[in-house]
Amino acid sequence: MITLAITSQKGGVGKTTLAINLAHAFARSGRRTLLVDSDPQGSVGLSLTRQSRHLSGFYDMLGNPSVSAEKIIVPTRLPTLSLVASGHSSAYELGGGSMGVTLHRVRCFLSEVEALNYDVCIIDTAAGLFGATADVLSAATGVIVPQQAEPLGVRSVPKMLEALARMRVVNPQLQVLGVVLTMVKKELPESLESADALRNLLPPEMVMQTVIPRDDLFIKASARGLPVGVMEDGAGALAIFESLRTELERRIVPPNPQRIDYAK
Ligand SMILES: Nc1ncnc2c1ncn2[C@@H]1O[C@H](COP(=O)(O)OP(=O)(O)OP(=O)(O)O)[C@@H](O)[C@H]1O
Ligand SMILES: [Mg+2]
C-alpha cells in the first residue's frame, strides 16, 4: 500500500482540496483508496459528510487502542473510495500526544488498512510539521506539498523540503514526491512569475508539471461536499487530477511491490 501525506507549512494553500480530489482520482482509476483526515479541524469529513462531527475517526483511533481501522472507515458512493473522518480530537489537543505512542498507533492503523486490501491511503494533515502530522510523516511512504502560486509563499518551500528530507532519518521509506502548485491564475502575471520562481528555486523534478488552477468551482464543490470532478462543468478538473495522479504514479517507488497489484 502507498500512503501519501498532503502537507504544507502554511495554512489555506489547498491541502484538503488536493487530498479530496486526488483520492477521488485514485479511486476512479480502480485503486481501492482510503482518504484520512488527520486535521483536528476536520475539513475532509465536514466537506464530504455532513455528519462528520459525530463520526469517530482518526483521533479516536490515536487515543484508544480498541478503536480499529475497520470501526472508523466510512464508505462513500464510489465503491473504491472510503474515508476516515478526523473524529474527536479535543483530548489530543488538550493533552498532546506522546510521540512514541501516537506514532505506534498510526503505524498500527496503516497496517490494518493495508490488511483490508487498500491500495492507496491519502492523509490530509493540519498545517505545520508538528504533532500528529509528524507522526503521519514518520509512517507515510510519500509526501506531497501543495503550494499556492503567490510571490511571498514560494521562498519558504526549499526549507520545507529540507525539513521533510530530514524526516527520512526517522522514516527512510518516505519519498518526497514534490510540490504541486495550487490556485494558479494564468491571467495574472504574478501567479505565473511565482510558478517560474519556484521552478528556479528547486531541482526541476521537485515541481509537478500538473498545476491546479484557481477556479470558483472548487469553492462550490466544497460547499456541496463533493470532489470537484463530479460537479456539472467538472470535466476539466477531472482531467487535471487524473493527470496529477498519473504523474505521481510514475514517480512513486512502491514500498512493498508484492502487495500492490497494479494489474487490477
Ligand atoms: N484551486 C482552487 N481554486 C479556488 N479556490 C480554491 C482552490 N483550492 C482551494 N480553494 C479554496 O481555498 C480555501 C482553502 O483551501 P483548503 O481548505 O483546501 O486549504 P488547506 O491547505 O487545507 O487549509 P488549512 O490549512 O486550513 O487546512 C478553501 O475555501 C477552498 O475551497
Ligand atoms: Mg485543510
Mean pLDDT of 160-186: 94
39-56 pLDDT per residue, tens: 998 877 655 665 556 789
Residue 225: per-residue pLDDT? 77
Cα separation of 229 and 21, whole Å?
Answer: 7
Cell, residue 171: 522514516
pLDDT in tens, 11-46: 999 999 999 999 999 999 999 999 999 999 887 765
In angstroms, the CA 93 to CA 232 distance is 39
Residue 57: is it exposed, middle or buried by C-beta count within 10 angstroms (0-12/13-18/19+)?
Answer: buried
Asked if pLDDT for residue 84 goes beyond 90, the answer is yes
Residue of the nearest CA to atom 9 in ligand 1?
Answer: 14
Residue ID of nearest Cα to ligand 1 atom 6: 218
Ligand 1 atom showing the smallest separation from residue 212 Cα: 1
pLDDT in tens, 210-257: 999 999 999 999 887 789 988 889 999 999 999 999 999 999 987 765
Question: Which ligand ends up closest to the CA of 10?
Answer: 1
What are the structural domains, with CATH classification, of the chain? 2-258 (3.40.50.300)
> What does the pLDDT average to over 59-75?
94
pLDDT at 98: 67
Q: Check if 7 has its Cβ closer than 6 Å to any atom of ligand 1.
A: no
Counting ligand 1 atoms within 8 A of each CB, the residue from 218, 220, 233, 238 with the most, and so the one to mutate, is: 218
Q: Residue 160's closest CA among 8, 24, 1, 3?
A: 8
How many residues does the structure list for the chain?
A: 264
- Shortest-distance Cα residue to atom 15 of ligand 1: 14
For a mutational test of ligand 1's pocket, the pick from 219, 233, 244, i.e. the residue with the most ligand atoms closer than 8 A to its C-beta, is: 219
pLDDT band, residue 154 (cuts 50/70/90): confident
- Amino acid residing at 35: L
Phi, psi torsion values for 222, nearest 5 degrees: -70, -30
The dihedral formed by the CA atoms of 127, 61, 164 and 193, expressed in degrees to the nearest 10: -40
Rounded to two decimals, what is the model's pTM?
A: 0.93
**Mean of the pLDDT values across residues 204-209?**
92
Ligand 1 atom showing the smallest separation from residue 17 Cα: 18
Are 247 and 209 a contacting pair, CB within 8 Å?
yes
Strand-pair partners of 179: 145, 207
At residue 78, the pLDDT reads: 92
**Per-residue confidence at 143, pLDDT binned at 50, 70, 90?**
very high
In this predicted structure, the answer to whether residue 261 has a pLDDT above a threshold of 60 is no
Calculate the alpha carbon distances from 149 to 113, 156, 242, 250 in Å: 34, 12, 20, 24
